Amino acid sequence: ETLLKVENLYKSYNRNTLVLQNVQMALKQGEFVSIIGPSGAGKSTLLRCINRMIDPTSGSILFDGVEMTTLNKADLRSQRAKIGMVFQHYNLVSRLSVFENVLHGRFGYKSTLQGVLSLFTEEEKKLALEILDKLGMKEFAYKRCDQLSGGQKQRVGIARALVQQPKLLLCDEPIASLDPNSSKVIMDHLKDISETMGITVLVNLHQVDVALKYSDRIIGLNKGSIVYEGIPENLSNMA
């Protein structure tokens, strides 16, 4: 039932400063967990270590039964395919359509040319449209991403991650650039993804109130160390 187990994780970008110190964390399948903490606490670094965008300095990351820190390139690629990423600044290709951005999430940015839809099978396109529909974005499928609002762009970002059919969704400050209404839409979708699709969702947030409202569990990170871990009810009592 445990999908991700992080043990004794340390990270330093340069020799003198530890950005993560002895981080321990376990996530169950379908769990919705928030990481809260001030800017510079190491939240983003932790997510990037988990999907091996960056290499941890030491420690263990067991994901879906496989140790991530010692993988070769081919195995790393297949493990990463099971991890979807959602970013604060969406990381969409703005001159491509919504549909193209979403398809590329699964299959990589295969071509820099427009008119790339012919690269994908009917089944792949059907899946992408179903996911866009679930996120209320089907009617925007053929719009260019640069014509969308921030909240709409983030729904495309989530759709792109979901076409990978991931087991884990890592969201790095997904609502930090959004207004309250769009933030609620995005958080409601992320919650629904964990509850109805059984996907584990790990979200970096700096808004404690949002973490309290949506999380099964909250992890507090400060100066690279976990300083709190528990259910929202306990954190509310503490505050």
**Residues near ligand ADP, by CB under 6 A:** 13, 19, 37, 39-45, 48, 53, 85, 87-89, 91
- In the chain, what is the greatest distance between 2 CA atoms, to the nearest angstrom? 55
User: Minimum distance between the CB of residue 17 and ligand ADP, rounded to whole angstroms?
Assistant: 7
User: Minimum distance between the CB of residue 37 and ligand ADP, rounded to whole angstroms?
Assistant: 6
User: Minimum distance between the CB of residue 188 and ligand ADP, rounded to whole angstroms?
Assistant: 23
Nearest CB to ligand ADP, comparing residues 87 and 120: 87
In three-state secondary structure terms, 4 is strand
Nearest CB to ligand ADP, comparing residues 50 and 134: 50
In three-state secondary structure terms, 81 is coil
Nearest CB to ligand ADP, comparing residues 15 and 122: 15
Is there a contact between 170 and 50 (Cβ–Cβ < 8 Å)?
yes
* CB-based burial label for 79 (10 Å; 0-12, 13-18, 19+): buried
Nearest CB to ligand ADP, comparing residues 21 and 88: 88
Nearest CB to ligand ADP, comparing residues 15 and 239: 15
User: Minimum distance between the CB of residue 88 and ligand ADP, rounded to whole angstroms?
Assistant: 5
- 148 is written with which tokens? 């969308």
User: Minimum distance between the CB of residue 175 and ligand ADP, rounded to whole angstroms?
Assistant: 13
Phi, psi of 87 (to 5 degrees): -115, 155
- Containing 182, the helix (H) or strand (E) segment is helix 180-197
* CB-based burial label for 227 (10 Å; 0-12, 13-18, 19+): exposed
